[in-house]
Amino acid sequence: MKESLSLNDRVSLAEYRREIALERLKGGQKIIIFTDLDGTLLDAETYSFEPALPALTLLKKKDIPLIICSSKTRKEIEYYRKKLDNHHPFISENGGGIFIPSGYFKFQTPNFKYDKDSEYLIIKLGARYSDLRRAIIELREEGFNVKGFGDMTVEEVSKITGLAISEAKMAKERDFDEPFIFKGDTKRLFNAINAKGFNYTQGAFYHILGDSDKGKAVSILIDLYRKSSGDIKTIAIGDSLNDLPMLKNVDYPILVKKIDNSYDKKINLSNLIRADGIGPEGWNKAVLKIISAY
């Protein structure tokens, strides 16, 4: 990077400021990276992360935590954590649950409600799945043409997602969030969802959920990392509207291109870094650019 930056060398003032920010990252602070999966780290069609392997290898080498923050279920994320050899906390179902491996943080348990199982400390932020299913059924009875994952067979989920049968089965084992498909007036549907006390978001599918989102879950983990490691810098990478709360809550929000080579037009932050590439290709380029200077 040049010692002196000229606005004439940059596309915009925002780009200039991003370059200054990246330069400051060289100060040696610990970096934490949050990432979406589908369409971001994983190819939207093949679910492969192979194009991102150079950056993933560099993160391992530099011991930089990679926290998965996805609309996927616990079992789906565990499947990919195993493939990635990832042992860090993760966030499931659009911020519905935070899973922290037992003993990961070396300090007293945080002062909020949590559950424990044999593997994780679990912070539950999402609505009960049974309540979400009831809302979907009520919406259908009210005339909305909605069909959730809970209404579909494993084979149907596999067909609409492109997932293998084994992965589609994991996608149906939900706790905090219900993906659904819908044809009709979205504004009227969203108003009806809100009237029932629930929220909605959108990624590859529509989602009905409670008072949770990726941003709230990310904020909790950032606080825990700061308590553990002191001053840190945070990065998040996503591709869709459901990633916006996550992107808003980090120092360096990165948006990758969608499969049609476009950026999600609903995501527009002043400090947004637009990665040059679709899904894992853009992910790889953006992470290498930032981390290589670290």
Q: What is residue 279's predicted lDDT score, i.e. its pLDDT? A: 98
Torsional class of 188: left (φ above 0), alpha (ψ -120 to 50), beta (otherwise): alpha
- pLDDT at residue 243 above 80? yes
Q: Active-site residue 276, yes or no?
A: no
- pLDDT at residue 44 above 80? yes
Q: What is residue 111's predicted lDDT score, i.e. its pLDDT? A: 67
Cβ contacts of 129 within 8 Å, gap of 6 or more: 150, 174, 175, 176, 177, 178
- List residues bridging with 38 in a β-sheet: 42
Q: What is residue 12's predicted lDDT score, i.e. its pLDDT? A: 47
Share of the chain above pLDDT 90, in %: 81
Report how far residue 294's alpha carbon sits from residue 278's, in angstroms, rounded to the nearest whole number.
24
Say which range, 110-119, 190-199, 223-232, 234-243, has the weakest mean pLDDT: 110-119
- pLDDT at residue 13 above 50? no
- How is residue 184 annotated by DSSP? S
**DSSP-derived 3-state class of residue 252:** strand
Q: What is residue 6's predicted lDDT score, i.e. its pLDDT? A: 31
Q: What is the dihedral of CA 81, 82, 84, 90, to 10 degrees?
A: 10
Query: Domains in the chain, ordered, with CATH?
Result: 28-126+213-292 (3.40.50.1000), 129-209 (3.30.980.20)
Q: Taking a C-beta distance cutoff of 8 angstroms, is the pair 213, 162 a contact? A: no
Each residue of 186-220: pLDDT tens digit? Answer: 999 999 999 999 999 998 899 999 999 999 999 99
Cβ contacts of 211 within 8 Å, gap of 6 or more: 125, 127, 199
Query: What tokens appear for 236 in the block?
Result: 């998040």
Torsional class of 39: left (φ above 0), alpha (ψ -120 to 50), beta (otherwise): left
Mean of the per-residue pLDDT values of the chain? 90
Q: Tell me the pairing of strands 66-69 and 90-92.
A: parallel
Burial (Cβ within 10 Å: 0-12, 13-18, ≥19) of residue 3: exposed
- pLDDT at residue 270 above 80? yes
Q: What is the dihedral of CA 81, 84, 88, 89, to 10 degrees?
A: -30
Average pLDDT over residues 91-109: 91
**DSSP-derived 3-state class of residue 279:** helix
Q: Tell me the pairing of strands 30-35 and 232-238.
A: parallel
- How is residue 127 annotated by DSSP? P
- How is residue 149 annotated by DSSP? G
- pLDDT at residue 7 above 50? no
Q: What is residue 115's predicted lDDT score, i.e. its pLDDT? A: 87
Q: Annotated catalytic residue: which of 9, 36, 117, 231? A: 36
Each residue of 105-158: pLDDT tens digit? Answer: 987 666 667 888 889 999 999 999 999 999 999 999 999 999 999 999 999 999
* More confidently predicted of 45 and 107: 45
